[in-house]
Amino acid sequence: MKLEKEDLLKLYRNLVLIRKTDEVMVDGLMQGKIPSFWHSGQGNEAVVAGGTTFLKKGDWVIGGVRGHGAHQAILKGMTPESVYAEHCCKATGCCGGWSGFHTSDLDLGIPGSCGTVGSSFPLATGIGIALKKKDKGDVMVCYFGDGASGRGTLHESFNMAAIMKLPIVWICENNGFAIYMSVTTASASKDIADLAYGYGMPGVVVDGQDVVAVCEAVMSAVEKARAGEGPSLVECKTHRFRPHNEGIPILRGTEPIPEAEIQEWLDRDPIVLFRNKLIERGIFSAAEADKIDQEVVAEMAAMDKAVTACGVADPAVMFKSLYAE
């Protein structure tokens, strides 16, 4: 895929949009507006924006643990307000405020985030079968973490998707950790992408802090899937800027991670890297980039105000969601 100027600007805005949404979520949790959890995705925005921005309407996407799939959902057409309201248990949330912290809208191709790590693999495989049967060239994009790669469901699903040549792109957000467990302790293979070869799929490793690299790798896999060439795996090496969930320390095993190492991660902020690259290439000036940032910040402030003013979830919705009508 050749990225034109407007595509690059769209990627930049999307990176900022999901970072700022994430910041509202962190604040919402700290202020008690969100009664459940927030697993921040700050640091991995390039993986989300690169893999989701240019999907088509009929495509489907399942997010990983980071950001509860909300970031992918926003880039697939869900409003940030609907996601934030859901987390705040408000009636205007995408699931009427009853899901706790999940994000789902079948009309937008978002089946929902999965509380049980690894349960997204068979879900994605099932959707892949449905898309193949419908034969409209739509694809299923399934994100997962390095920790999830240890689940047996991955192997069953990779095998079935490969045998049936399903239109699926598996995206591994390898941030190096599953809560406190380092990937080097938990995984025997150096690269998760190597798992693809056991199932006859292409598997590539990309710099997950480089939004263009992610976008090119994922969109190339998407085009293969649309053309009936079956599934692929893209592993994105990324960083988690915040703890696993808010309020717990950042550790490797039982040991604190040295400040200098965390600083190295922060120095590779995907938004700053991309912004600098676009300024260097003359795509926009620093002032124009600031304007985009400010527009998104204003959008977030309006969203926070609207959601705070909204009423809580209606109990009737809970029972409506239990049975098909």
Ligand X SMILES: Cc1ncc(C[n+]2csc(CCOP(=O)(O)OP(=O)(O)O)c2C)c(N)n1
Residue 295 makes CB contacts below 8 A (sequence gap 6+) with none
Minimum CB–partner distance for residue 73 and ligand X (Å): 16
| Number of residue whose CB is nearest ligand X | 145
Kindly state whether residue 179 participates in binding ligand X, applying the rule CB under 6 A: yes
Rounded-to-integer distance, Cα 262 and Cα 182, Å: 14
Buried b (16+ CB within 10 A) or exposed e, 208-223: bbbbbbbbbbbbbbbe
Distance CA 314, CA 299 (A): 26
Among residues 139, 140, 148, 193, the one that binds ligand X under rule CB under 6 A: 148
Contact 28, 87 (CB under 8 A): yes
Does residue 208 interact with ligand X by CB under 6 A?
Answer: no
Q: For residue 67, state whether it binds ligand X (rule: CB under 6 A).
A: no
CB of 243 to ligand X, least distance (A): 10
Sole binder of ligand X in the list 20, 66, 90, 132 (CB under 6 A):
66
What is the smallest separation between the CB atom of 181 and ligand X, expressed in angstroms?
Answer: 8
Q: Are 311 and 85 in contact (CB under 8 A)?
A: no
**Do 6 and 49 contact (CB within 8 A), yes or no?**
no
Name the minimum Å distance from CB 88 to ligand X: 21
Any contact of residue 254 with ligand X (CB under 6 A)? no
Closest CA to 17 of 88, 75, 103: 75
Question: For ligand X, which residue of 65, 75, 160, 206 counts as binding (CB under 6 A)?
Answer: 65
Tell me how far apart the alpha carbons of residues 74 and 83 are, in angstroms, rounded to a whole number. 8
175 near ligand X (CB under 6 A): yes
Selected binder of ligand X within 28, 109, 128, 145 (CB under 6 A): 145
> Does 73 interact with ligand X (rule: CB under 6 A)?
no
Q: Measured from the CB atom, is 33 or 244 closer to ligand X?
A: 244
Residue 143 as a binder of ligand X (CB under 6 A): the answer is no
Q: How far is CA 300 from CA 136, 162, 314, in A?
A: 36, 41, 25
- Does 131 bind ligand X (CB under 6 A)? Our answer is no
SS3 content of the chain, % helix, strand, coil (to 5): 50, 10, 40
Q: Which element (helix H / strand E) includes 234? A: strand 232-237
Q: Is 146 in the site for ligand X (CB under 6 A)?
A: yes
Q: How far is the CB of 69 from ligand X (least distance, A)?
A: 11
In angstroms, what is the minimal distance from the CB of 102 to ligand X?
13
Query: Could you list the residues that contact ligand X (CB under 6 A)?
Result: 64-66, 115-118, 145-148, 173, 175, 177-179, 244
